[in-house]
Amino acid sequence: MEKRVMTNSKRRKRLMTASALLGGVLVLSACSGGNDKASESDGGDSTSAAKVDEAAAKKTSEAQIKITPKDGSDNASINNGTAVTVSKGSLTSVTMKTATGTAVAGQISADKKSWKPLNRLERATTYKIAAEAADSEGRTAHENASFTTVSPSNSFIGNFTPEDGSTVGVGMPVSINFDKAITNKADVQKGISVSSSSGQEVVGHWFNANRLDFRPENYWTGGSTVTLKLNLDGVEGASGVYGVQQKTVTFKIGRNQVSIVDAQTKTMKVTQDGKTIKTIPISAGSPENKTYQGQMVISEKFKETRMDGSTVGFKKDDGKGEYDIKDVPHAMRLSNSGTFIHGNYWGAKSIFGSVNTSHGCVGLSDTKGANDANTPAAWFYNNTLLGDVVVVKNTGDKTIAPDNGLNGWNLDWAAWKAGSAV
């Protein structure tokens, strides 16, 4: 058998091959996270992750932007809950749009530290905000957020009377009707304040889960100013149902006018500050249809209106109303159930002051068309404010329910205060 002899040249070639293979393994090991010192000679330290992060940090803006509500929020406030603020920098740009792209007007503050929308937001709407700020070195920062405002099904509002800026009579309560039933009455009532420049104590009374009225013990002081503040934004009125109103309302109290209707004498004495200024003959409800008694507040005025007996229970056998007058003049509402004090042109002039003939209303002599300012009804209409009091007595009927219209004055002060939730 032939014996092969390895020459020196062949031996050197194989050693070189093995060395090369071994070197390859070493290189691969270094790329897999081996000894950093192996790459120092190639400048590896300046391109390391630590050096890259440090360099990036030096270029990052110090400005810190905060957007309220937080990104992804739902049931967000439609009032004062939206804002963009920045620390360690100044706002340079803020845009707000609905999900459909409608722009929302807003304004950056003079010091460029905050931004707010100029108007109240819409309910059940998704909004997107993009904000940019710069720090003292001009480096910019960006922040984005998207949120959805509270939906009608998850919120409540209170419809109130009287109107802001109005002048009303001394009997006008602050009456609030909520569009959702309120179960957390104390929390909601604490979010509402009513005060008078006269200093009178004002207390709230819940008639039911949807209605809250406020009044003082006695009629408002003539000439005073009443302020209603609704701070209901975010207040939970019922489980999962939140308030959205943030509003201040003021109204004036006019002269003290109280009119006393006496169904027995068939007259109405109109008083101002306790003094009788006019006596008007009237015709109240007939013995079969007596007029409610008690203190009533005028809640609506109509120069002319239709009165259909079928809407308040006075029906003929065919279902039609016992009366249907399409142009009742100078009508002023006293109750929700249909009691009015109004002009009457269809009755004989002789009935006023002598006989009670109506279906429960208080009638005053008038002419068709409501254009004669000299009639008793026209005079009373023209000299009456919403909120004026009409006291009806000697009808033989029961006292009107306190919640039938704005007639809470028929509760004494102790009973009124007992209906407060706070």
Question: How far is residue 134 from each of residues 87, 131, 142, 289, measured CA to CA in Å?
Answer: 10, 11, 9, 78
Higher pLDDT, 200 or 3: 200
pLDDT digits (tens, 9 = 90+) for 65-118: 999 999 999 889 999 889 999 999 999 999 999 999 999 999 999 999 999 999
Of the candidate ranges 10-24, 114-128, 133-147, the one whose mean pLDDT is the lowest: 10-24
- Give this prediction's pTM: 0.78
- On whether the CB atoms of residues 382 and 373 are closer than 8 A, the answer is yes
Q: Is the pLDDT of residue 3 over 50?
A: no
> How does residue 51 score in pLDDT terms, banded at 50, 70 and 90?
low
pLDDT of the residue at 82: 96
3-state secondary structure 92-127: EEEEEEECCCCECCEEECCCCCEEEECCCCCCCCEE
- Starting at the edge strand that comes first in sequence, how are the strands of the sheet with 158-161 ordered? 158-161, 174-178, 211-216, 202-206
pLDDT of residue 307: 84
The DSSP symbol for 186 reads H
Q: Encode burial over 331-343: b for 16+ CB neighbours within 10 A, e otherwise.
A: bbbbbeebbbbbb
Query: Greater confidence, 195 or 313?
Result: 195
Higher pLDDT, 322 or 341: 341
Q: Alpha-carbon distance 90 to 168, whole Å? A: 49
pLDDT digits (tens, 9 = 90+) for 242-280: 999 999 999 999 999 999 999 999 999 999 999 999 999
Determine whether 241 is exposed, middle or buried from the number of CB atoms within 10 Å of its CB (0-12, 13-18, 19+). buried
- CA dist 309 and 324 (Å) reads 6
pLDDT band at 59; cut points 50, 70, 90: confident
Is the predicted pLDDT of residue 42 greater than 50, yes or no? no
Q: What tens digit of pLDDT does each residue of 281-335 get?
A: 999 999 999 999 999 999 999 999 988 766 666 666 676 666 688 999 999 999 9
